[in-house]
Amino acid sequence: IEWAEETIEIHLGEEFQLSPTLTNLGNALTLEWDSPSGGPLSCQDCLSPVAKPLDDILYTLRASNELCADTLQVAFLVDKTRRIYAPNAFSPNLDGRNDYFILQSPDFGIIRSLSVHDRWGGLVFRSDNAVMNEAPTGWDGQYKGKPAPTGAYLWTAEIEFIGEIVEVFSGEVVLLR
């Protein structure tokens, strides 16, 4: 069994397809993937399963037939840094570009709460249990049904990531008209 990489580094929530190369093992082949901590794989007895580990993990592939057997180990190092992108400005002018203030993350999660406050601390927008990366769940620049004034606003978000990890983020966004 051959594999180009012994250690694979991925971010939490990413998938990776394992694709080892088998040589000289014949037709009557038995395959078995194993991991000490039971890391999730799309299949345990196929050649190229998809792995989506939540923690650092070591997968072992055992390939055998009536004449020989071989093993291969592949380690995954999972980067658990929660990445989030919040724009520093948006322009809700309905031109189809940057019309909403939305939080984005490749790490997937649920926005438990997102609140936007004006410079005096007054709440101008709040959203609960919103889906990450979706415009309709973000702020459209309205306050009580009317366009909010141009200016700087403070936001705070509580986000639940994969693995039920909750983190609070905050920042400033400028509303442009």
* CA 84 to chain CA centroid, nearest Å: 10
pLDDT per residue as tens digits for the range 132-144:
888 788 999 999 9
The pTM of this model reads 0.70
Among candidates 77, 72, 2, 78, which has minimal Cα distance to 34? Answer: 72
* CA 28 to chain CA centroid, nearest Å: 39
- Number of C-alpha atoms within 13 angstroms, CB side, residue 165? 14
pLDDT per residue as tens digits for the range 41-57:
999 999 899 998 988 99
User: In sequence order, which residues have a C-beta less than 8 Å from that of residue 165 and are 6 or more positions away?
Assistant: 80, 82
Q: Residue 101 pLDDT > 90, yes or no?
A: yes
Average pLDDT, the chain: 90
Which residues lie across from 9 on neighbouring strands?
A: 77
The predicted pLDDT at position 2 comes to 79
Token pair recorded at residue 36: 């000490």
Token pair recorded at residue 148: 């909010």
In this prediction, residues 13-17 reach a mean pLDDT of 89
Which residues lie across from 39 on neighbouring strands?
A: none
For each of the domains in the chain, give its residue range(s) and CATH number, in order of start. Answer: 7-79 (2.60.40.10), 89-175 (2.60.40)
The predicted pLDDT at position 26 comes to 66
